[in-house]
Structure formats: structure tokens, C-alpha cells
Amino acid sequence: MSMRLGDLTWKEVEEYLKRRKDVILPFGSVEEHGPHLPLSTDGDIANSVAEELSRRKGVLVAPVVWYGVCNTTRAYPGTITAGFDSFKAYVADLLRSLKDSGFEKVYVVSGHLGGSHVCAITEAARSVELDVLFLDLRAVKSDDILETQPFHACEAETSLMLHLHPDKVDMSKAVDEKIELEEFSMTASVKLTESGVWGTPTKATKEKGKLLFERIVASFEKAIK
Ligand SMILES: [Zn+2]
């Protein structure tokens, strides 16, 4: 039996719920990730982590919630952002519906970690009477694997994508850029860097991605019974 919720019939979900009542809900974004990574990067990473956890722990994985809140990258063509309030309401609806289906525990894995995005998911989770556990990629220690701090379209994300989806990465277009912001417009849509990268993707390798992916899955695995 597939462990992808979307592949099952309702009868198979009913059978699963007799055995266990947990599910992984991955979140992505449709967001620029520099000139070398696709807009799907966050969802691709979250889905791969979720599917590997599913394989190891026998837990169902729901389809990725693709659109999220991407305020700081909205000036780049292709970034499609939801508003905070509508996204929060939408996520609360999804969680409530999972509860109505009979699920009691939801593991959230988000590839997109923008402040407003995570805050909206957190507030949505608090508004629903359901056990929601956030498996936080930011909490996974990576400084012994990576040479630079994870940021955006960075060494970390690029390495993970080189490991998971090498066909979607064009390293010949990768550039390194830093944000040096003393002031930040809260109202205007501004490109914060020329390339849309904040970080050092040129240091990315497939080997680092493999190690990092294994580290992420191993640390999240402990949270799933
Ligand atoms: Zn990302």
C-alpha cells in the first residue's frame, strides 16, 4: 500500500485510521530561489523529507501545501504569495478537516521558513484541537556538514537539491550574494539581492546534501512513534 494519502481510496484511509491516527503534512512555497534553483525548491525538499519519514515509520504523508506566504521575495517574477490571514485560515481549515477525517496527530514539515509563513502555520495549529508537531528544519545542526550558514537558495538548500533533484539544479548559474541591510522597506516590493540568492550556493555539493538529508530525517524520525 502506498503511504501517500493522495494515492489512496477513502476505504484505504479508513483502514489506516484503524491502525494509527497520525499524518505528515508537508509545506512548500512557490518562490524564487536564485538563478540556479526552481520555484518548487521548498516543497521538493519538504516532500522528500516527508516521504522518507513515511517509508521508515509507516506514517501517511499528505500532498504538499504548495502556496505559502513569501513576503520578502515577492518582487521576483514567479514568486506567488498568499496573504497572512488567508493562509492562516486555509491551514486551519486543512487541519480541522484532517481532524474531521479521524486524524489526531499531524507532523508539519515546512521547506519554506519565512517568519510570517511559520507564524501563520503556528497560529492555525493553535486554533484547532489537534496535536500538531512542527518538525523544524532550522533546529537541525548542520555546521559540521556545511561551510556557511543556511539562508536562502544557499549552500544548504542547493546541496539538498543536488542530492534529491540534480536534474532541477543548474550549478553553472549559481552565484553567491549577501544581504547587507541597515534599512528595509516594509511597504515597497524590492529585490533584496540582484540574484535572489542570500547565501553561498557555490559551496554546495551532492555529498553535503546527502549527509544533510540523512541528518534531517534521522533527527525528525525520533519524533514519530
Ligand atoms: Zn527555500
Q: Indicate which CATH number applies to the domain containing 210.
A: 3.40.50.10310
> Which contacts (CB < 8 Å, 24+ apart) does range 88-94 have?
88/120, 88/121, 88/123, 88/124, 89/124, 91/65, 91/120, 91/121, 91/124, 91/125, 92/124, 92/125, 92/127, 92/128, 94/25, 94/65
**What's the 210 CA to ligand 1 centre distance in angstroms?**
17
Backbone phi, psi, residue 213, to 5°: -60, -45
Q: Under DSSP, is residue 182 helix (H, G, I), strand (E, B) or coil?
A: coil
Total domain count, the chain: 1
pLDDT (tens place) for every residue of the chain, 225 residues total: 569 999 999 999 999 999 999 999 999 999 999 999 999 999 999 999 999 999 999 999 999 999 999 999 999 999 999 999 999 999 999 999 999 999 999 999 999 999 999 999 999 999 999 999 999 999 999 999 999 999 999 999 999 999 999 999 999 999 999 987 777 777 778 898 999 999 999 999 999 999 999 999 999 999 998
For residue 187, the model assigns a pLDDT of: 77
Query: b/e string for 182-202 if b means 16 or more Cβ within 10 A?
Result: eeeeeeeeeebbebbbbbbbe
- Model-level pTM? 0.96
Centre of ligand 1 from the C-alpha of residue 17, in Å: 33
> Residue 39's pLDDT is what?
98
Tell me how far apart the terminal alpha carbons of the chain are, to the nearest angstrom.
Answer: 19
Expressed in angstroms and rounded, the spacing between residue 16 Cα and the centre of ligand 1 is: 32
Distance 111 CA to ligand 1 centre (A): 6
- Look at residue 1 in the predicted model and tell me its pLDDT: 58
Which residue segment(s) compose the domain that 203 sits in? 5-221
pLDDT of residue 184: 74
Beta bridge partners of 4: 61
